[in-house]
Amino acid sequence: MALFSVKMRSSKGGLHISGAERIVPEEQLEEVILSLFRRARNHSKGRPDFISLKLEELKEEPVYLRALPVYEVKGGAPTETLLEKLFSLSEVPASLGLRFYRRLLEGISPSGGVMRGAAIVEVPSGRRLEPDRERGVRVSYIDITEGAAEELRRLAGGKYTENLKEALTLSTKVLHHPDVLSELCISDDPDYTTGYISVKGLGYFRLFNIKPAGLPLGGRVFFVREGVDVENLISYLESKPVIVSSVSTYSAVSLEEIEELK
């Protein structure tokens, strides 16, 4: 059966309110359009005066992936200490990783705010590779099956959020590219203080206090290998359909246990 990409975005007075996307079989289109429409109309940021719903038949078979293993990092140590440890298990030098962590908290876009998409950073030079530094690169054509989402909900228990589901789906696609070494993410929602770092070969690490509450800044950084074919990478991120169809594991780890993962 034909698969469709369905995308929703909404705004009010020209300001972005929400966005979401799905990849679904034709027979589910009506149901999914209605649920995205409801999502657009009932957002905590207010009622939009503009809603875009875009439907498009996929021209390409999606890739089905298993989600990255999820770890929640047990508290105690300062965020920078945890990030330093996690970067040191990746191929990204910790000093470079921390430099971009601080930059996200200061407002990484040239105008000092948030980017709509992600920055792409070459390792180890720190050179920025995305063509538009104000906008960044937007990952798209992603979804997770109902079965995988259900299992994630069960595994994460009280720590489950819709943000986790969507971020794990996005990061699973991003880390699947052979030249992406790590991803760092901080929400731009002032009240959502859980962020993550994904490390190639290890998984997705949730950090519960990655930023101070109330800060309306954040963003994403994709750390990539030197010599990466940037056009190929961007085309994969922006347009290859990816569906997460199963999950791996969910566990809590301490700083000491992280060292044993490698």
8 forms part of the interface with ligand WAQ (CB under 6 A): no
Nearest to 174 by CA among 137, 133, 148, 215: 137
Query: Site for ligand WAQ (CB under 6 A): which residue of 85, 128, 138, 176?
Result: 138
Q: Are 166 and 153 in contact (CB under 8 A)?
A: no
161 forms part of the interface with ligand WAQ (CB under 6 A): yes
Only segment of 6-14, 85-93, 124-132, 186-194 that touches ligand WAQ (CB under 6 A): 186-194
Choose among ligand WAQ, Mg ion, none what residue 104 binds, the Cβ cut-off being 5 to 8 Å by kind: none
Rg, Å, the chain Cα set: 18
Q: Which amino acid is at 246?
A: S
Of 85 and 138, which CB lies nearer to ligand WAQ in the complex structure? 138
User: Whole-angstrom Cα distance, residue 48 to residue 51?
Assistant: 7
Residues 6+ away with beta carbon under 8 Å from 85: 255, 258, 259
Q: Are 70 and 187 in contact (CB under 8 A)?
A: no
Only segment of 1-9, 39-47, 75-83, 110-118 that touches ligand WAQ (CB under 6 A): 110-118
189 forms part of the interface with Mg ion (CB under 5 A): yes
Residues 227-256 that bind ligand WAQ (CB under 6 A): none
Instruction: Determine how β-strand 3-12 pairs with β-strand 50-57.
Output: antiparallel
Binding mask 205-224 for ligand WAQ (x = CB under 6 A): -x-----------xxx----
Instruction: Give the interface with ligand WAQ as residue ranges (CB under 6 A).
Output: 114-118, 138-139, 161, 163-164, 167, 170, 185, 187-189, 192, 194-196, 206, 218-220
